[in-house]
Structure 1
C-alpha cells in the first residue's frame, strides 16, 4: 500500500479472465481491473501463446483497490465464490494450466490472509470431501492481455457469466 494514494493490488486466477474481471469490477472499493497473464516464463506473452500451454502463465485479473472501502479478505471471499477451486487446471469446459486457480500475493500479509482463507474454505461444507487445489504463490510480472480482452463483457453490453461459475 502506498501512502500517497492508499491503494493495494490483488491478483487472482480463477479460470477464464473475462468473467473473473466482470465479477470484481462490481465491488465497491475496486478502483480498476485489468486482465492479463502471470506466473509463467515468457516475457510479453500473447493470448495465443498462453493458450498453447507452453508459457506456464495463468489467465489472471489484477485488481487495484481501496482497502478502506473493501478488504483483501472480502476480495478473497469473492474469489472463492466465482469458481470451483477443486478443479485442477480447468474451469468448466476450459481446460489447461492457464485456467488454474491461483492467488498471487503481493505481501506477507496477503499470503497469510490467503492461507487462512483457503483453510476456512477447505473446512467449509461447500467443499466437503473435495480437495482445494488453488495455488498461493508470490506475484510475479503481470503482463496485460491484449486490449480486446479488457472489460470484455462491458464492451459487448453483456452482464458477464458464461465462462465462470
Structure 2
C-alpha cells in the first residue's frame, strides 16, 4: 500500500507539473438563460459538462448551493478508453468532464449552465483551455434528456446574439453516451491540493469569481465527493 501511495503521489506531481500555466481563464458576466428546464417534483437530476481540466470544473461546482455531488470523469468515448493516460493521447473522443448531481428545486439546469459559461471556463476557446491543448479539453455539454438539450441550445444562441464574449461561443452540444468516473487521485483535486501551482494560478480564481458573481449560490465549504481513497 505504501508503494501504491507513493506511485499515486508521483503521478499527481507529474500531472500537475505538466499542467502549469501563467494565467487563469477570465470570468465574464452574462445574462441568465431566457429558457430553462421544466419544473419537476424530483429532487435529484444530473448534468454533464466539459470545459478543460476537470480539476477546476469539479472545484467550482462543489461550491454551488443546490449541488449534491460532483465527480470528475470522461465523456464522449468508449468505456474501454476511459482512463487518464489513454484519454490524454487525444484520440479517444472523450473530454475531461464533470457529472453534477443537483436538486432542481434549489438550482436549475439553466443556472448551472450560467455558471459553466461565465466562471467555470472560457467557452470561446476551441479544443483547449489555458495551458491544456487537445480535443479532450474541449468545451461541451452533454444533455441527458431533450429538455436539457433544448435549454443548452437556446442559451448558446442567446449568448451569441448578446455578444457578451469577445469571440464566438464554440461550446458543442453533444450526445450523452455515458459518464465514466476518473481515477480516485483526480477526485476533489482542487480541495485536496489547494497550494498546487496549477490550482493556485488556474482554478482558485474561478472559485473566487463564483463567490463574487454568484454570492447567493456560493457555498463556503465544498461538498466533496466520497471516494474509496477518502
Q: Under a length normalisation based on structure 1, what TM-score does the superposition of the two structures give?
A: 0.90
Q: Are 1:15 and 2:60 counterparts?
A: no
Q: After superposing the two structures, state which structure 1 stretch, 38-47 or 81-90, moved more.
A: 38-47
* Higher percent of residues as helix: 2
Deviates more, 1:82-91 or 1:97-106: 82-91
| Kept after mapping to 1: 8 A contact 2:194/2:200 | no
Work out which of the two has the higher radius of gyration on C-alpha atoms and give 1 or 2: 2
1:131 aligns with 2:168: yes
Query: For the residues of structure 1 that align with 2:172 and 2:124, how far apart are their CA atoms?
Result: 11
Q: Which residue of 1 aligns with 2:99?
A: 62
1:127 is displaced (CA, Å) by: 1.9
Please give the secondary structure, in 1, of the residue aligned with 2:80.
Answer: coil
The separation in 2 between residues aligned to 1:152 and 1:124, in whole angstroms, is: 35
Does the alignment pair 1:73 with 2:73? no
* Structure 2 residue corresponding to 1:30, chosen from 40, 49, 67: 67
Confirm or deny that 1:118 pairs with 2:156: yes
CA separation in 1, counterparts of 2:115 and 2:141?
12
What is the TM-score of this pair, normalised by structure 2? Answer: 0.65
* Residue 135 (structure 2) aligns with: 97
Q: Is the contact between residue 89 and residue 95 of structure 1 (CA under 8 Å) also seen in structure 2?
A: yes
Task: Structure 1: state its 5+ residue gaps.
Answer: none
Structure 1 contact 44–143 (Cα < 8 Å) conserved: no
Gaps of 5+ in 2: 1-39, 207-230
Separation in 2, partners of 1:66, 1:103:
19
Corresponding residue pairs, total: 162
TM-fit CA distance, 1:42:
4.9
| Greater strand share, structure number | 1
Tell me which of 30, 33, 41 is aligned to 2:78: 41
Q: 1:45 to 1:28 in 2, by over 3 A?
A: same
The residue aligned with 2:8 is none
